[in-house]
Amino acid sequence: MTRAEKREARSKLKKDIAEFIKIQSHYFPDFIEDLRNVLDARKLNYITYEIEVILYVMILKNACSIESMQAMTEEFNMIECAKNIFKILGLPERDYLPHYVTINDCLEKLDNTELEKVRKKMIYGMIRNKRYDNAKFLGKHWLIIVDATQLFCFDERHCEHCLTKTVNKGKPDEKTYYYHQVLEAKIVFGDGLVISIATEFIENPKENPTKQECEIKTFVKLAASLKKMFPRLPICLLADSLYAKDTVFEICRANNWEFLIRYKDGSIPTLAEDFHTIVDMGECELSEKDVEREFKRRASISEKHNMRWVNDMDYKGKPVAVMELDIERDGKDWKLFKWISSQRINARNAAVFAETGRKRWMIENEGFNIQKNHRYIITHANSMNYNAMKNHYLLTQIADILVQMYETGVEGLKKVRRTIENIAKCLLDSLQKQAITEEDLTIEKFQIRI
């Protein structure tokens, strides 16, 4: 893009908050009404701010990448900011927005399932939108990536649900940390568009549990919730080698889901031995593909993908396919990947299986890494109340849906290549200084290309 083209693209980005509302109203026309219908657990006689005010202020806090609750109260303590938010919500103007203490008091009482209903409706609307059908695996199944991440860490036990980790056991500097983890399921709507669809908080089931025990037991609950919310959704589960277990396979089969799970020889040794025996005998199927990878700021890389797979392998009386991908760079072995799948592989779709299996990193990079280190700082505890912690996290995931749709839907943002930090800063500046008009809230039908 030339400098003149960039200048023209920037000139069109006149009012960021208005563009944000435009995208919100286009994709989720009932969003404000859905917030208004959230069941408020506070005593009605003592309410100063409506539930939609509490929730939308938190959503904008996350969209503007404001790290702490105290900083949010300071940043939003501007008359234009308050006027804009009340105008967006269709409420009479007031001079002040709720203080963070008021917000946390509300979130301590709010039932988590109320926010899950809001998210479910947003996801359901996107699934029904045919523009994302190209993201389906083999044209049939939505990719659901599952992984866990740590949220908060404390030096002392925070609550009965804390997980524990002790380092330097038996030494003078032995120390125990208390932390919280979450198991997240994200749905892939396309490259660069990975959105939270279900959440389960990992809670301490007993004293000194292992990581595997916690995650797998929590996955059982996550899978049940996901099936209940989307009973007919065709799913292909992507996960790391921790999930290469009969428990996970049986859940997928019972729910009529497919799976493509990262696999290590130590995960299921007997299956690995059978696979290597078949490969050594030359009885496996083979395919090769030359791949040219292009990068924005460095030279392109040539790769050769050598794929080997065996279908109909018996594992506890059920057929599975095992696939191996050996990647060469500059004629040398670079990386080796293995997966176990519920679906048969052939020469026509082997490359698709390999490419899809490697997409699991998307939840770590575009999901957790960005949310932890660049945009929402989800490792910062906005409240010390456990129920409020959960609601803060769920509000972050709802805000992330709106922000990702904003980034992909506003053409000028892509053209000028704004960074994550700049997008948030410009959105906050616009909210603080640019008045929302009736024209901004009058949304006409338009086309968004993603």
Hey, what are 286's tokens?
């083979």
Is the model more confident about 38 or about 166?
A: 38
Measure the CA–CA gap between 385 and 51, rounded to whole angstroms. Answer: 19
pTM of the model: 0.90
Residue 446 has pLDDT above 70, yes or no: no
CB of 13 within 8 A of CB of 418? no
Residue 207 has pLDDT above 70, yes or no: no
Hey, what are 196's tokens?
């939270």
Measure the CA–CA gap between 20 and 55, rounded to whole angstroms. Answer: 17
Hey, what are 114's tokens?
């109320």
Residue 206 has pLDDT above 70, yes or no: no
Measure the CA–CA gap between 400 and 410, rounded to whole angstroms. Answer: 15
Band the pLDDT of 186: cuts 50, 70, 90: very high
Q: What is the pLDDT of residue 175?
A: 86
Residue 30 has pLDDT above 60, yes or no: yes
Q: What is the pLDDT of residue 13?
A: 63
Q: Angle at CA 250, nearest 5°, toward 249 and 256?
A: 90
Q: What is the pLDDT of residue 195?
A: 92
| Most confident residue range from 44-48, 118-122, 152-156 | 118-122
Q: What is the pLDDT of residue 167?
A: 83
Identity of residue 259: F
- Look over the chain and give the mean of its residue pLDDT values, rounded to a whole number: 87
User: Mean pLDDT throughout 161-183?
Assistant: 84
Measure the CA–CA gap between 43 and 391, rounded to whole angstroms. Answer: 19
| Most confident residue range from 80-89, 266-275, 353-362, 368-377 | 80-89
Hey, what are 110's tokens?
């709010």
Q: What is the pLDDT of residue 448?
A: 52
Give the CA dihedral 433, 437, 441, 442, nearest 10 degrees: -150
Q: What is the pLDDT of residue 265?
A: 86
Q: What is the pLDDT of residue 277?
A: 95
Band the pLDDT of 360: cuts 50, 70, 90: confident
Share of the chain above pLDDT 70, in %: 88
Listed by start position, the domains of the chain span 3-37+40-110+386-441
Q: What is the pLDDT of residue 257?
A: 98
